[in-house]
Each structure stands twice: as structure tokens, then as C-alpha cells.
Amino acid sequence: DTGVSQDPRHKITKRGQNVTFRCDPISEHNRLYWYRQTLGQGPEFLTYFQNEAQLEKSRLLSDRFSAERPKGSFSTLEIQRTEQGDSAMYLCASSPPRGIDTQYFGPGTRLTVL
């Protein structure tokens, strides 16, 4: 399977704990995106990488959230001091070098904060 993969698929944590999610994009894709989706809503943009550079961050990405893509391949999204409002599906997507804007999504990580 050469699609976007995410790990873990599900995460249950207690309020105040830190969590980290991983995303592996399609291999030839240099652009990587993180989105968050809550019930009844469409995915909302969080942040975007081109290679290893983080080019854009949404105001939704509070200082408790940090994303990295150290070698321009996989990416991690960390949430520190989780809150119940962080419960959501976290989606990763990737797209090829500029010129083709279609983004391909992974299966998502479902986070539940108790």
C-alpha cells in the first residue's frame, strides 16, 4: 500500500497528558498537511509543510500544538497538556510538487481525551 499512513489509528488519553501522532506521506510527495475534523464539520486546516519547512500554521494551532517534519519525509504532530476540546480526528494529507493541488488523505488518528 503506497498511500498516506498514520499511526496510531486511535488514541485515548487523560486530560493533561501529551500525545504524538505520526504521518508518513506518499513517497514522492513533498507537501504535507495536517487537518482536524470534529463531529458534523469538515476537516479544518492546521499546518502545512513543503519538504522540511513549515510554511503555514492556522490560528487553530495553539502553542500546545507542535508539528515537525525533520527530514522532509514523515511528520509528527504533538499535543501537550491535552484538553477535552482536543478530542477529534486528526488527518494528514500529502500532495505532489507544485502544479498538482490534489491532496490525498490518510486514514486519520482518532483522539479521545477523557
Residues that bind other proteins (CB under 8 A): 4, 6, 31, 33, 35, 40-45, 48, 56, 58, 91, 93, 101-108, 110
Kindly state the cell numbers that stand for 53: 519547512
25: cis peptide before it, omega within 30°? no
In sequence order, the β-bridge partners of residue 23 are 6, 75
- Is 56 or 83 the residue whose CB approaches other proteins more closely? 56
* Smaller CB separation from other proteins, 37 or 80: 37
CB of 37 to other proteins, least distance (A): 8
The three cell numbers locating residue 112: 479521545
